[in-house]
């Protein structure tokens, strides 16, 4: 999608600190990390939010979740633990309208999964 910042990162039109990539997903460091480890797990397909998922996305959604343990291992947080969460819509504090999972860890995290 033309004006989507995450689509531009996926297309390598703007730089990001990429940590992992396969045919369907891209993982990169959050530009404003709120924890020692704060990575974003993004499908390459532009999907605006959880609310926009269709049955066509079932396999992709499964793929995203199933890759979390590997990504957590790469981040070095597989043993100490981490939070994975998705903000959705205005009350959910979603800022970028391209579906993404936050993976945060590297230190003890407290309280709700608020990132800003
Ligand atoms: P949201 O609030 O939409 O769930 O989270 C969007 C996240 O994307 C924020 O944590 C923000 O710091 C991050 N972000 C926004 N723009 C960029 C960018 O251009 N590059 C990277 N790496 N992260 C970004
Ligand atoms: Zn997008």
Q: Kindly give the number of the ligand 1 atom that is closest to the alpha carbon of 16.
A: 22
Mean residue pLDDT of the chain comes to 95
pLDDT, tens digit, 9 for 90 and up, residues 38-85: 999 999 999 999 999 999 999 999 999 999 999 999 999 999 999 999
Q: Which pTM does this prediction carry?
A: 0.95
Q: In this model, does residue 114 exceed pLDDT 70? A: no
DSSP secondary structure string for all residues of 55-80: GGGHHHHHHHHHTHHHHHHHHT-TTT
If pLDDT is split at 50, 70 and 90, which confidence band does 116 have? low
Structure confidence at residue 2 (pLDDT): 79
Q: Assess whether the C-beta atom of 11 lies below 6 angstroms from ligand 1.
A: no
Sign of CA dihedral 104, 109, 115, 116: negative
Q: Kindly give the number of the ligand 1 atom that is closest to the alpha carbon of 95.
A: 3
Q: In this model, does residue 115 exceed pLDDT 90? A: no
């Amino acid at each position: 999608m033309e004006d989507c910042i995450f689509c531009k990162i996926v297309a390598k039109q703007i730089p990001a600190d990429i940590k992992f990539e396969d045919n369907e997903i891209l993982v990169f460091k959050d530009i404003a990390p709120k924890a020692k480890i704060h990575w974003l797990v993004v499908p390459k397909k532009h999907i605006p939010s959880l609310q926009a998922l269709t049955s066509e996305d079932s396999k992709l959604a499964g793929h995203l979740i199933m890759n979390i343990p590997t990504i957590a291992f790469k981040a070095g947080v597989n043993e100490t633990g981490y939070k994975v969460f998705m903000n959705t819509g205005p009350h959910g504090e979603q800022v970028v309208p391209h579906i993404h999972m936050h993976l945060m860890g590297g230190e003890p995290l407290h309280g709700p999964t608020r990132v800003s």
